[in-house]
Amino acid sequence: MQGVVYKSTGSWYSVKDDSGKVWNARMKGVFKLDDITSTNPIAVGDVVDFELENENEQTVTITKIHDRRNHINRQSPRIKSQQHIVAANIDQSLLIATLKEPRTSQGFIDRFLVACEMYHVPAIILFNKIDLYKDKDHQKFKQLKEVYEKVGYKVIGISLKRDKNVESIKDLLKDKITLISGHSGVGKSTFINTIIPHVQIKTQDVSGWSGKGQHTTTFAEMYELPPDSHRDGGKIIDTPGMKEFGLVDIERQELSGYFPEMRERLNECQFNNCLHIKEPGWAVKQAVIDGEIDEDRYVSYVNILESIPEKKW
Ligand SMILES: Nc1nc2c(ncn2[C@@H]2O[C@H](COP(=O)(O)OP(=O)(O)OP(=O)(O)O)[C@@H](O)[C@H]2O)c(=O)[nH]1
Ligand SMILES: [Mg+2]
Ligand SMILES: [Zn+2]
């Protein structure tokens, strides 16, 4: 039998088969040892083969993971040397950011976008909780929207609480598998509860962001968007909030290729292995000086570059 992983709780998975039946699935021990570099060899979105394990308890054993169309990996927050597959087989990724309660840093946004570029997953940035914005927050939002739209990402300010701009996003989700990411407390689960009326995912209590950064959602889970007259559905993946986005499998030389505004200037740099820090013939650095590349984006670039260990041969 074949199915899609809808939920992963560590050792058990919820797998939905073609007829819509949901099974409790797990892996065989030996199979599990195959992929020791990842904390979770199977991720939400994976297509798997399985066979019946226990008829009475309706449990099944996963026997095969199908090749992935794509996936997004990050550093495991617990074991830094290991990777964590955030999700597999996704069409786009939607980052929910906030300027307040909590504040999402530009560094976090940029790391996340680098990961999306690495894995060829289109990204959209939503700034939620605009109902909390004061004048200076509106200005900051406007500035960030300009920066990221210029680079090629769609940026939308929304308030789930006041139902502002939410309707327009539904069209972006239509027929697609969308991964939702962001810090804890930004409103990822609230977003899904708003988009899909019949689901009731647990969200942080009414007082809003507690400031303690505790996670309300603890496992990734996929939900089906309701089909209607002008929408055929699609799927949306809720994830636990992340504090940092630790990039994996990235080399210093390739980093600038994951900043679209640098990528388009790379062949103007004098050396093809230019890191754009101190080399002469600086097409990229000149663009920063000229204000064509946003300075904060460049700062993120340098910070990420410094965090990547130099390759040991
Ligand atoms: N003021 C305001 N609060 C909001 C808005 N959207 C969500 N919230 C509140 O923010 C809090 C956190 O929302 P959640 O949906 O639980 O956040 P989450 O991103 O799923 O958090 P984790 O599951 O911990 O990763 C809840 O109390 C929501 O009611 C908004 O637009 N404005
Ligand atoms: Mg949540
Ligand atoms: Zn350069």
Helices marked H in the chain: 29-33, 106-118, 135-151, 166-173, 188-195, 260-263, 283-289, 295-307
pLDDT at 34 (0 to 100): 47
Provide the 8-state DSSP code for 290: T
Query: CB within 6 Å of ligand 1 — which residues?
Result: 128-129, 131-132, 159-161, 182, 184-190, 203-204, 208-209, 215-217, 240-241
71 CA from centroid of ligand 3 (Å): 30
Using an 8 Å Cβ cutoff, are 250 and 308 in contact? yes
By the CB criterion, residues less than 5 angstroms from ion ligand 3 are 269, 274, 276, 284
pLDDT at 30 (0 to 100): 52
pLDDT at 33 (0 to 100): 45
Tokens in use for 135? 């004048």
Among all bound ligands, the one having the nearest atom to the CA of 255 is: 3
Provide the 8-state DSSP code for 231: B
Using an 8 Å Cβ cutoff, are 296 and 106 in contact? yes
Q: Which amino acid residue places its CA nearest to atom 9 of ligand 1?
A: 208
Using an 8 Å Cβ cutoff, are 218 and 7 in contact? no
Residue for token pair 């939702």: 180
Among all bound ligands, the one having the nearest atom to the CA of 193 is: 1
105 CA from centroid of ligand 1 (Å): 17
Taking the CA of residue 159 as reference, the ligand 1 atom at the shortest distance is: 31
241 CA from centroid of ligand 2 (Å): 7
In this structure, the number of other CB atoms found within 10 A of the CB of residue 126 comes to 26
The amino acid present at 84, given as its one-letter code, is H
Q: Which regions in the chain score pLDDT beneath 70?
A: 29-38, 206-213, 229-232, 279-281, 312-313
Instruction: Report the C-alpha gap between 38 and 296 in whole angstroms.
Output: 32
**Residues shown for the chain:** 313
pLDDT at 207 (0 to 100): 65
Taking the CA of residue 162 as reference, the ligand 1 atom at the shortest distance is: 31
In this structure, the number of other CB atoms found within 10 A of the CB of residue 249 comes to 11
Residue for token pair 């000229």: 290
